Structure 1
Amino acid sequence: MNTESAGVQRVVVTGVGVLSPFGEGAEVLVRALEEGHSGVRFLEVPWAKSLNSALAAPVLIPVESRFTKLRRLTLDRVAQLALLAAGEALTQAGLDFSGDEGLHCGLFWGTGIGGATTLEQAYHESFLDAQARPRPTTIVAFMANGSAGQLSIEFKIRGPSFTYSSACSSSAVALGEAFLAVRQGRVRYALAGGSEALLTLGVMKAWESLQTLAKPDPVHPETSCRPFSRDRSGFILGEGAGALILESESSAQARGATILAEIVGYGNTTDAGHITQPDAGGQARAIQEALHMAHLAPDQIDAINAHGTGTVVGDGVETRALKIVFGDHAAHIPISATKALHGHLMGAAGAVEMVAALGALRRGIVPPTAHWTTPDPACDLDYVTEGARALPALNTIMSNSFGFGGNNAVLIARRYTVSP
């Protein structure tokens, strides 16, 4: 790999962890996507009847049971998901930060909202009873950096800590900034990723009012999110967490760690156009920045994990952005939009989808864009609509994350080869 200066280090991934609507574990996620399983279902909660559509992609395992009652007092669901995903990643990486190594690890975490469950509960109780007093732990449970704080405490991470909140691109930004920190030698290790748990009545009703949620299919509701299909109508809200361990190649080699992949590019741009409407030019610039950092030509990208939310406007804009950058080659790149299956995980989406992309890279199989039914002239690329596709020569993969507010974050990974 070419480097921009002698001080730039190769950045590798040595651990991944996921909590998703398919269950616990990165391998569970990768296999479920390959097999086209859907994590979308109707919520079975008392307040679901207050929604126009109670379709969502929840994490069904009893997450709270993994923590003591005392510990749960300071843990919103978003932090619980974060802790479990990070624990899996650290175990796979074989890292223990209880000693001095924790001084050399940075923490980079993303979330769109933070502790939505705790905040909604506090408001609900206060509005019902003017004399009600929120739990003393309310602030620390709902604050945006609560997950990062709990991660540092649990795993004894004592390097720099950052919380990123840029809507749907939050955890992709966290990964990108962690990549830069390791690349530049500012930290030896990085725990990076994101979590989101926003399946609450208030949040879901707010999204309903924005009219971006998918209309339920009357026969097969689990297929309601249909990225890049002409009959698409929006996305399905989900929850989850994704965590990755990044470190320098030299560090991983010195401790004999198994290297899963190499991160080689990151681009981050802002549209500066509209708070919710995406811009193809801004997205294209982020893709070009990532390619430039990776020292890759457009025709060297073998597959793409698209942002692909399933909204009428968003999918068309992303398609245009890909055409701007890749030109005629855009039609020859397999493009997967996995939100059709695991839902839109908002602040956790970038990290969870990056884990999915690394799984595809490792296995040489890209997941499908599920539930596609009808061609759309505005979305005329290769969206892997036939099912999972084997790509034995898969060497590089790109993952797109584009958020409200106009933030665009693009990551590129490639199959790891030992430095000469």
Structure 2
Amino acid sequence: MHVVVTGMGVVSPIGTGVEQFWSAAIKGVSGIDKIQSFDSSKLSSKIAGEVKQFDPKEFLTPKYIDQMDRFTQFALHAANQAIEDAGGLDCYSPHRIAVVLGSGMGGFSTFESSALRRFQDRSIPPFTVPRIMANSAGAWIATKYGFKGVNLTCSTACSSGANAIGMGLDLLRSGRADTVIVGGAEACVLPLTMKGFEVLHALSTGFNDQPQYASRPFANGRDGFIMGEGAGVLVLEEQSNAEGRGAKTYAKLAGYGCACDATHIVAPDMVGQVAAMQTALQDASVKPDSVDYINAHATSTPLGDIIETRAIKHLFAEHASRLSISATKSMIGHSIGASAAIGAIATIQTLRTQMIHPTINLVEPDPDCDLDYTANQAVERKVDTAMCNAFGFGGNNVSIVFTNL
């Protein structure tokens, strides 16, 4: 069975909609700025990749806005785009349309605001619990469109979106669905979440006055990641079904690999990353030297970027020096459970356009990061096989492989 991508939708700090997002990515536009959604003066990290000019009233009534957390609104907007892009899915039985969404934090903005109200002895909104639920995004997508098939939520920290895509692939291969809406959404640019990552020494704190330069994957002087937010959603179908209904196809989803390194709850581990990438290649029946491009996890943390570089060099050996690599997070920050879904869209766009977006702010590479990271300028290159990496807290490592048809 060949599984293909027939629809895509994205909400990101550098653009909403695939074309706007990709145009900005190719130009190396930074979406990192000083936080506008709350007073960050008491935080050490005062910058983030926020989705600006997002107005849920453009596609939701006030009644439904009251019932949805911001992450759900992102997910639904991206899903609307993807389903429209796929030409609608009316030809499928609603009972055969599945939804698998990933989110690391779920409705955390509702949790934080409601907890604060409760501590102040104020009433909390009646839809507090449904807004907080991590599965609310998938549930609302299903409810809006009447999708009555499998509905799953994956929460594996930063690899949530990638695991959701892989789970969708498995549902199609196993015959449990005819089409699957997959992806990830996150909205945790919030005081508590930011402070939580700050005390882990995970966030950048040295570039508050130069936000656009703060996310610096693989660069000397990087000091942590930048919190981001957004959503990415894909429509997956079996190729013959897609072609039979006349749908356009963007790429083949060829392989999925997931491995827990079982080493440390927050520190990355090379062995687990190698295992995930190797499993994905085996699942796709692709040899390492056939891979042209990797959309790296590349969060801009001092240790994480080195470990991923070592993992790539270990698995790909001499071919590692011939790979093109780039880091979407250099422009949009780290959107946790949405990051791999947005990264997957960037990977597919690379296959479609034969253009590799840059890793911005890579003026002086870390000596331990010595591969081709597409520094600062987009590059045109023939790309037939591409990989997207996502490595999360809890030792959950995921890789997915896309190929041209």
User: Do the two structures share a fold, i.e. TM-score over 0.5?
Assistant: yes
Q: Distance in 1 between matches of 2:213 and 2:164?
A: 30
Say whether 1:70 aligns with 2:63: yes
Q: For 1:49, what is the secondary structure of its paired residue?
A: coil
Say whether 1:410 aligns with 2:403: no
**Aligned partner of 2:72: which letter?**
A
**Aligned partner of 2:266: which letter?**
T
**Aligned partner of 1:101: which letter?**
S
Is contact 1:23–1:29 with CA below 8 Å preserved after alignment? yes
Q: Distance in 1 between matches of 2:42 and 2:209?
A: 21
| Corresponding residue of 2:383 | 394
Q: For 1:50, what is the secondary structure of its paired residue?
A: coil
Is contact 1:14–1:259 with CA below 8 Å preserved after alignment? yes
Q: For 2:112, what is the secondary structure of its paired residue?
A: helix
Say whether 1:290 aligns with 2:280: yes
Structure 1 residue 29, shift from structure 2 partner: 1.3
**Aligned partner of 1:13: which letter?**
V
**Aligned partner of 2:3: which letter?**
V
Distance verdict in 2 for CA 1:46–1:177, change over 3 Å = closer
Map of 1:37-186 to 2, 5 A cutoff? 37-66=29-58, 67-97=60-90, 101-129=93-121, 132-186=122-176
Q: Distance in 2 between matches of 1:254 and 1:216?
A: 54
Structure 1 residue 50, shift from structure 2 partner: 2.1
Structure 1 residue 207, shift from structure 2 partner: 1.3
| Corresponding residue of 1:36 | 28
Q: Distance in 2 between matches of 1:254 and 1:94?
A: 13
Structure 1 residue 96, shift from structure 2 partner: 3.6
Q: Distance in 2 between matches of 1:216 and 1:41?
A: 14
Structure 1 residue 386, shift from structure 2 partner: 4.1
Q: Distance in 2 between matches of 1:155 and 1:69?
A: 19
In structure 1, stretches of 5+ residues that fail to align are 1-8
Say whether 1:342 aligns with 2:297: no
1:227-249 residue CA offsets vs partner (Å, 9 max, x unmatched): 01121111110110000000001
Q: For 1:48, what is the secondary structure of its paired residue?
A: coil
**Aligned partner of 2:52: which letter?**
L
**Aligned partner of 1:144: which letter?**
A
| Corresponding residue of 2:185 | 195
**Aligned partner of 1:225: which letter?**
S
Q: For 1:47, what is the secondary structure of its paired residue?
A: coil
Structure 1 residue 46, shift from structure 2 partner: 4.4
Structure 1 residue 133, shift from structure 2 partner: 2.8
| Corresponding residue of 1:26 | 18
1:59-112 residue CA offsets vs partner (Å, 9 max, x unmatched): 112333232111112111011000000000000101244x86221111110000
**Aligned partner of 2:24: which letter?**
A
1:239-269 residue CA offsets vs partner (Å, 9 max, x unmatched): 1000000000111011010011101011000
Map of 1:265-280 to 2, 5 A cutoff? 265-280=255-270
Given candidates 309, 313, 317, the residue that maps to 1:319 is: 309
| Corresponding residue of 1:217 | 207
Q: For 1:62, what is the secondary structure of its paired residue?
A: coil
Q: Distance in 2 between matches of 1:180 and 1:387?
A: 36
Is contact 1:199–1:237 with CA below 8 Å preserved after alignment? yes
| Corresponding residue of 1:354 | 344
1:340-380 residue CA offsets vs partner (Å, 9 max, x unmatched): 10110100001011001101110000111110122322111
1:272-320 residue CA offsets vs partner (Å, 9 max, x unmatched): 0000011101100110001101111111000000000000110011011
Is contact 1:36–1:387 with CA below 8 Å preserved after alignment? yes
Is contact 2:142–2:148 with CA below 8 Å preserved after alignment? yes
**Aligned partner of 1:30: which letter?**
W
| Corresponding residue of 1:228 | 218
Between the aligned residues of both structures, percent identity stands at 39
Is contact 2:30–2:212 with CA below 8 Å preserved after alignment? yes
**Aligned partner of 1:20: which letter?**
S
| Corresponding residue of 1:5 | none
1:111-166 residue CA offsets vs partner (Å, 9 max, x unmatched): 0011011111110001112xx33211100001111111111101111100110000
Q: For 2:246, what is the secondary structure of its paired residue?
A: coil
Q: Distance in 2 between matches of 1:328 and 1:23?
A: 37
Q: For 1:27, what is the secondary structure of its paired residue?
A: helix
Q: Distance in 1 between matches of 2:370 and 2:119?
A: 50
Q: Compare 400-409 and 70-79 and name the one that shifted more.
A: 70-79
**Aligned partner of 2:167: which letter?**
E
Aligned pair count?
404
- The alignment yields a C-alpha RMSD, in angstroms, of 1.2
**Aligned partner of 2:358: which letter?**
P
Q: Distance in 2 between matches of 1:412 and 1:45?
A: 36
Is contact 2:15–2:24 with CA below 8 Å preserved after alignment? no
Q: Distance in 1 between matches of 2:54 and 2:370?
A: 41
